[in-house]
């Protein structure tokens, strides 16, 4: 599996954090806060796959382009960045050795928490 950092998604995430469009939730909240399949499909129908992709920091280049299976490491709910998603993603990126994604998520978390990265 080849997963690369989605630069468009990172730019959106940084802008949202800078604008304080953030939910400062707890580490394990993502399972409850993540958009449902129905919410994902409704977003794609309304905004398209390119906009949906901007909510995922990873892109698996071995998966078919234009599919949800290609997108990895979601960080928000299509409105705001969720701290819990950033924490979850950073952990998974580190586990699977996706260094650029792990670094980007670590920096986002530091920005959310008001720390120097």
Q: pTM of the full predicted structure?
A: 0.94
81-98 mean pLDDT: 97
What are the pLDDT digits (tens) for 22-57?
999 998 999 999 999 999 999 999 999 999 999 999
What are the pLDDT digits (tens) for 58-73?
999 999 999 999 999 9
| Nearest in space to 85 (alpha carbons), one of 67, 104, 65 | 104
What are the CB-based long-range contacts (under 8 Å, 24+) for 108-112?
Answer: 108/13, 108/14, 108/17, 108/75, 108/81, 109/83, 111/14, 111/17, 111/18, 112/17, 112/22, 112/24, 112/81, 112/83, 112/86
């Amino acid at each position: 599996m080849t997963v690369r950092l989605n630069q468009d998604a990172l730019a959106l995430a940084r802008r949202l954090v800078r604008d304080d469009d953030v939910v400062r939730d707890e580490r394990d909240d993502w399972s409850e806060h993540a958009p449902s399949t129905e919410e994902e499909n409704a977003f794609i129908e309304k905004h398209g796959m390119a906009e949906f992709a901007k909510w995922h920091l990873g892109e698996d280049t071995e998966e078919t382009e234009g599919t949800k299976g290609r997108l990895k490491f979601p960080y928000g709910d299509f409105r705001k960045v969720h701290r819990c998603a950033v924490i979850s993603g950073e952990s998974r990126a580190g586990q699977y050795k996706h260094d650029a994604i792990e670094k980007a998520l670590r920096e986002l978390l530091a920005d959310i928490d008001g720390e120097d990265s």
